[in-house]
């Protein structure tokens, strides 16, 4: 299945291929590394949460990457605190700093911390709340003309993107993406 997905899809001329894998070091991870080997993958970004149990899992991932010679682009600490929707203060409901400590130990880059920010979910909802009636209309349109139905979806996506620009999470994600991109060798 993984082989089919990587080799039988017409990917065209793409800038990046991101493979989002579940946690673990299972057969799936092995297969992905094996099938991508011929394409010189840039490497892996590991995502942890601040809790010790997740840090332990990511430690296994780090060892796995080293064993299969997959470069490690860095570690992101996800769910790193909770951003209050009333005052925007970030509270560390779990512990914090586990990701950067792990990076020190393994001598890999710490890419940044991403908090739980309910405003992102609210933003997503706000861009799709107009759509119950529209979706029904889209459905009718889709039957008659599939191309026409794609337009309202694009409108919603661009509405989301323009609002997302001013979200504090955008600043965090952009900084991580820019840093990773500047370190890519391919
Ligand atoms: Zn508050």
Å from CA of 91 to ligand 1 middle: 9
Bridge partners for 48 per DSSP: 77
Distance CA 122, CA 151 (A): 23
User: Residue 51 and residue 13: Cα distance in Å, rounded?
Assistant: 39
Per CATH, is 1-130+158-167 categorized as 3.40.50.300? yes
Residue 76 pairs in a beta bridge with 47, 112
Give the pLDDT of residue 25. Answer: 85
Q: 76 CA to middle of ligand 1, Å?
A: 25
**Distance in Å, CA 83 to ligand 1 centroid:** 8
pLDDT at 39: 85
Partners of residue 157 on adjacent β-strands: none
Distance CA 92, CA 84 (A): 11
Q: How far does the centroid of ligand 1 lie from the alpha carbon of residue 81, in Å?
A: 13
Of the candidates 150, 156, 149, the one whose C-alpha atom is nearest the C-alpha of residue 130 is 156
What percent of the chain shows pLDDT beyond 90?
Answer: 34
* 77-133 residue pLDDT tens: 998 888 888 888 888 887 778 889 899 999 999 999 999 888 888 888 887 755 444
Q: Please, which residues have CB within 8 angstroms of residue 63's CB and are 6 or more apart in sequence?
A: none
Distance CA 106, CA 101 (A): 9
Range name among 36-50, 85-99, 141-155 with the lowest pLDDT average = 141-155
* 82 CA → ligand 1 middle, Å: 10
Whole-number pLDDT of residue 48: 92
Q: In this structure, are residues 68 and 40 in contact, taking their beta carbons and an 8 Å threshold?
A: no
Ligand 1 centroid from CA 152, angstroms: 35
The model scores a pTM over 0.85: no
Residue found under tokens 């792990």: 102
Q: In angstroms, what is the span from residue 30 Cα to ligand 1's centroid?
A: 44
User: How many Å lie between the centroid of ligand 1 and the Cα of residue 57?
Assistant: 32
pLDDT in tens, 157-167: 888 888 888 88
- Over range 24-29, report the average pLDDT: 86
- DSSP strands (E only) in 34-150: 44-48, 72-83, 90-91, 110-116
State the average pLDDT over residues 144-163.
Answer: 72
Give the environment of ion ligand 1: residues with CB less than 5 A. Answer: 84, 86-87
Taking the centre of ligand 1 as the mean of its atom positions, its distance from the CA of residue 105, in whole angstroms, is: 34
State in Å: Cα 55 to ligand 1 middle. Answer: 28
- Residue 101 tokens read as 């400590």
If you measure from the C-alpha of residue 84 to the centroid of ligand 1, how many angstroms do you get, rounded to a whole number? 5
Give residue 90 CA to ligand 1 midpoint distance, Å: 8
């Amino acid at each position: 299945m993984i082989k089919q997905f990587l080799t039988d899809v017409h990917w065209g001329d793409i800038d990046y291929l991101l493979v989002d894998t579940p946690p673990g070091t299972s057969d799936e991870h092995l297969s992905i590394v094996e099938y991508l080997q011929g394409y010189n993958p840039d490497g892996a970004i590991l995502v942890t949460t601040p809790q010790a149990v997740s840090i332990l899992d990511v430690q296994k991932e780090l060892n796995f990457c080293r064993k299969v010679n997959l470069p490690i682009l860095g570690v992101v600490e996800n769910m790193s605190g909770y951003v209050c929707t009333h005052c925007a203060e970030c509270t560390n409901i779990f512990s914090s700093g586990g990701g950067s400590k792990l990076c020190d130990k393994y001598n890999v880059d710490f890419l940044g911390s991403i908090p739980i920010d309910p405003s992102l979910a609210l933003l997503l909802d706000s861009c799709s709340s107009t759509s119950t009636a529209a979706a029904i209309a889209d459905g009718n349109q889709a039957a008659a003309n599939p191309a026409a139905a794609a337009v309202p979806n694009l409108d919603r996506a661009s509405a989301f993107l323009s609002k997302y620009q001013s979200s504090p999470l955008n600043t965090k994600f952009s900084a991580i993406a820019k840093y990773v991109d500047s370190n890519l060798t391919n």
